[in-house]
Structure 1
Amino acid sequence: MNRNKNILLGVTGGIAAYKACALTSKLTQQGANVQVIMTENAAKFVSPLTFQALSRNPVYTDTFDEKDPASIAHIDLADWADVTVLAPATANIIGKLAGGIADDMLSTVLLATQSAVYIAPAMNVHMYAHPAVMDNMKKLESWGYHFIEPGEGYLACGYVGKGRLEEPESIITAIEQHQAKKALFSGKKMLVSAGPTQEKVDPVRFFTNRSSGKMGFALAEAAAKLGAEVVLVTGPVSLETSNKQIKRIDVVTAEEMYQTMHDHFPASDIVVKAAAVADYRPKQVYEEKLKKQPDDWYVEMERTKDILQSLGEKKEHQFLAGFAAETTNPIEYGMAKLDQKNLDAIIVNNVAADGAGFGGDTNIVTYVNKFQQKKEISLASKQDIADKLLLLISHDMKDEPN
């Protein structure tokens, strides 16, 4: 997979820099075009000449050392790269990247490149576990950077634990697997709904539910990472989106979500309705705030449109999946929806179970496809569950049993 690929390798100042030599050699042997950027501290561990000999290319160490007057090196390299790899990545370079700092050749290129960036950390076990480092990595991951976790073992500092740079072979395998996975939904258009809706009673009151939107947002993020062009239709939530492949559309009411989903449905290849849409709304909406009454107050409700069923009725080429949040006989009710609403898959979760339900960062689901094959996904983060669900959807789009 790496033949003729332009790979930019960033080497930072850690004892594990010697492993970057082997990484350079293996990538070059696979036919990749490798350019190396070293930090000043990295050059104290391994000579730039070593990387020059292994890559058969000049090594970059200084932002102001312009080797070609016809171009600006740090922009040229940033544009040239198909893939960028940081190995080893110290706590320092991770912090710089998370903070948007560009004070040397490597950090400047990292801010300028639009290529996929893979970060292989290497540091002391306590440094790796420090809250600042962990927060920086989470921030970068949310921005679309990819981490290759360090291994556990004996470290140069004498400690035994997590922080050892992964072996070159493992780094290459991780990149190849991710690149192959990234193309899974390439060229596909995906429509996802997320969050609750709000149904107005008067200027200060509305009916809603406990949905946080986290599951739908996780699906949108995961789909974008797999190469899909994503439209995310969300009710009122406190979540943010940063991936450029996600077009976010904010709505408030069930009617607004209905209209927006139908507007984008014809052009979509994959549709996942993860939103918790209100089944009912107040029949009468008051323009002025209702004053407190001495007696009980009754609100007459009317049905909202069933978005999922209406999409199932119009389905042509689309793969259509929905969520069934249940508390009683979840699989039975979920499978009934699968048939009634002409779905290709239903994702069932018992919102009363520990670790599942609204608002949390974890979930437990059962995926049931149109062949009535079930796949249980045990307690995991919503991000992990989103990844697994999309792999199942990809499988079923080929009409293959799971």
Structure 2
Amino acid sequence: MEILRLTVAWSLLVCLVLRMGIKEVMAVEADDIPAIYNFGDSNSDTGGIAAAFFPMAAPCGETFFHRPAGRGSDGRLIIDFIAERLKLPYLSPYLDSIGTNFSHGANFATGGATIRRQNESWFENGVSPFPLDIQVEHFIQFKARGTYFYNQANETSQRSRLPRPEDFSRALYTFDIGQNDLADGFRKLTAEQLRAAIPDIVNQLAAAVQQLYKEGGRAFWIHNTGPIGCLPVAVVDIHNATPGYLDEQGCIKSQNDMAMEFNKQLKDRVIRLREELPQAALIYVDLYAAKYGLISTAKRLGFEDPFKICCGQHENGIHVWCGNKANIKGTEVYGGSCANPSTVISWDGVHYSESANFWVASQIMNGSMSDPPVPITQAYYKHI
């Protein structure tokens, strides 16, 4: 599919690198990055929340895994494509005990996770009990226990699924989190209150990076948050909106404005972190621009209406989530999938389809949407 092969020219990337200026921390190529440790929410959860509570229901996973695989999509997520680009296996969820392999990293992300702790139940509002600070605590325990058992093992076979202690300082630490903090704020706070909370949210993400730096982490790949106001589940029932409520693409303008404010403050905080953590390579990735670019040019790229939902039904205030059943006016309705998920951006109204994830991953991994503008295969570069 041609849309999945679009990339930015390497000549442009070279020009950007020369213009902005970077210096090498160490000569690291894709083959030299031995592991990924990921922190985030459902956008990068490869099975953590499914292991903690209930497994994903079919038809999730139908396109690539041909079965539910703990992901809120028909197939692979951006973090899966990152692993592929770095020639590493897909990340095993830290919370899963079956079939796991931690020799090349681990995934601490869980669906519904936030940066700040929320005093709510997963059963009530879908908020994960594993916010970012708990994910970092899980990593610290993982590192300590993994190192202990690796050193205690007498045979290579006993170490084959354990992290090598020396890899923690050479691994890539990825972040994709913050969307749920905004969504929670839209639900509980006024716009002024949420805007006032953003500095604390951003500082708590920075604190997580600082903690991982103390644990030896040196390369950080930090996604900003996407255009939450473009999620189909939020706009599907909006009719006759007042002028200015929706932007030119049909997204909720106020929500996207809040996401852009969060992203601005996050970028500023990452810049300050570079001064506070002198040995770290910190890459800020403009995921918002990539996703909004996809939504705004969807049909030109071969996708259908960007607000079409492939799996589940969401209309007239009634939500039948992907893979679930509901009784509507005496009739049982099943939230099945569309005929061709590869042409749809939104899998279930909240999460992206595999083809959309691939397109976005292709845009961000080459470095053209990063600060500094280096590809993920060379993430061990540091701003001058």
Pick the TM interval, shorter chain: 0.3 to 0.5
The structure with the largest helix share of the pair is 2
Q: Which has the larger radius of gyration?
A: 1
The structure with the largest strand share of the pair is 1
TM-score by length of 1: 0.32
Higher relative contact order (CA 8 A, sep 6+): 2
